[in-house]
Structure 1
Amino acid sequence: MSQPTRGRPRAFDRDRVILDAARLFWRRGYSGTSTRDLTAALGLSTSSLYAAFGSKAGLFEEAVRTYAERYREIYRQAVTQKDLRTVIDQILIDSVHEFTRPSDVHPGCLLSSAAMTDSTSTLDTNTYYAELHGWNERALLARIERAVQDGELVAGTDAAALTGLVQSVVHGLSVRANLGTAREDLLATAQLTHELICRHLTSPTT
């Protein structure tokens, strides 16, 4: 008599699971998303979810880091550009494209999500995002200060104020994207902001 085979854990696409979990967390917050909600939406058993991520908190942390780190990479790449015009243009345009990525590959913007009001035992979302935002802002400020020193910007340009302006626009674009504003409209805003900054602050000798 043949022995029954033991059941194997259901195979799953880890990237897809993280994406679908992020959608729930972003929409409902961490506290508002139960383990039962996750297992139902992800098609996993509780034991499989825990085996893969350790806990609900572990899954939440991986979702936050997976999608929030994309924002840091935008700044990391932009500040390496040789002129400040390109730096600012790249930050604004790439941010719009990130905020409006197709829903089948992106959960939406963490900044405007319900998850920002929650924390877990392993990751305080607000603290993590503040660190991420701070890194982005410091990287941009250092690049703008260098542009001031190199004469790319008109004399007397307030590097901190310009950094704040760019960051405020990026955050506004994020909020509008979360409200459903079309990519084309967001790009128009980003391009106009870039033109105005360059027109009023860029040195005519550059």
Structure 2
Amino acid sequence: MARPRSFDRDHVLHAAERQFRTTGYNGTSVDDISAATGLGRGSLYATFDGKHGVLLQAMAGYFARLGQGAPQVLAGPDEGALERLHGYLLRAVHGVPLAADVPPAPDRTTATCFAAKMAMEIGASDPEVQRLANDCFSVVATAVAECVRAAQRNGDIDPDADPDDLAYLLVTIIRGTDVVGAYGHSPARLTSIAESAFALLPRPRHR
């Protein structure tokens, strides 16, 4: 019996993610995934159980990258926390990948949050996609909230403010810029949104 052809699983899932980002879940066929990944239909079904299985595993890989990338960008000493939040906002609104091994997207439309894109398209009818999307949102919000707490300990953000509320505010603004960017607004506009969001962070009250 012939041995199955070996392949790089991560490479396949990255390629599938790029395809889903570009054409959406409903607009992507198994043949599209096969062409994008170089795997035949038989291998896709045998390895991933078809298109839906490829999507779930691609989203799981995206979640793993977020779980590593967000804390790496936002963790550090308390005295640099506010600066890290600022840098994170500027990177995030322009779709800059958090993981070093992920190349920048070729255009703003495909630089949006992969999990949010899939949740918007099919999350209402697909509990597994919705769960993975929620996990992706939560891992980023948690990392942002920890950085907010660090800035509070350093006296840069009002200690009475709720760090989780601020984290949800910032992540919601970032996800909103995905939509604004997809409409074709300029990078300068996205930077202005990020700077306005940063300015909303409550600073300590000086007596």
2:74 pairs with 1:79:
yes
How many pairs are equivalent? 195
Q: In structure 2, how many angstroms separate the alpha carbons of the residues matched to 1:164 and 1:115?
A: 17
Give 2:187's aligned residue: 183
- The answer (yes or no) to whether the contact 2:177–2:190 under 8 Å persists in 1 is yes
RMSD: 3.8
- The answer (yes or no) to whether the contact 1:21–1:38 under 8 Å persists in 2 is yes
Q: Residues 21 and 115 of structure 1: is their aligned pair in 2 closer, same or farther, counting only changes over 3 Å?
A: farther
Structure 1 residues 103-159: Cα deviation after superposition (integer angstroms, max 9, x where no partner): 28x94322552564336xx98121111112122223322442344345332353343
- The answer (yes or no) to whether the contact 1:153–1:202 under 8 Å persists in 2 is yes
Q: In structure 1, how many angstroms separate the alpha carbons of the residues matched to 2:69 and 2:186?
A: 20
Unaligned runs of 5+ in 1: 1-5
- The answer (yes or no) to whether the contact 2:115–2:136 under 8 Å persists in 1 is no
Q: In structure 1, how many angstroms separate the alpha carbons of the residues matched to 2:53 and 2:39?
A: 15
Runs of 4+ in 1 over 6 A off after TM superposition: 6-13
Q: Report the more deviating stretch, 31-40 or 161-170.
A: 31-40
Q: In structure 2, how many angstroms separate the alpha carbons of the residues matched to 1:130 and 1:147?
A: 26
- Aligned residues with identical type, % of pairs: 25
Q: Report the more deviating stretch, 72-81 or 167-176.
A: 72-81
Task: Quote how far apart the aligned CAs of 1:202 are.
Answer: 5.0
Q: Residues 8 and 168 of structure 1: is their aligned pair in 2 closer, same or farther, counting only changes over 3 Å?
A: same
With a CA cutoff of 8 Å and minimum separation of 6, indicate the structure with the bigger relative contact order.
1
2:171 pairs with 1:167:
yes
Task: Quote how far apart the aligned CAs of 1:12 are.
Answer: 6.6
Residues 32-111 of structure 1 aligned to structure 2 (within 5 Å): 32-82=27-77, 83-99=80-96, 101-103=104-106, 107-109=110-112, 110-111=114-115
Give 2:157's aligned residue: 153
Task: Quote how far apart the aligned CAs of 1:62 are.
Answer: 2.8
Q: Which has the higher helix share?
A: 2
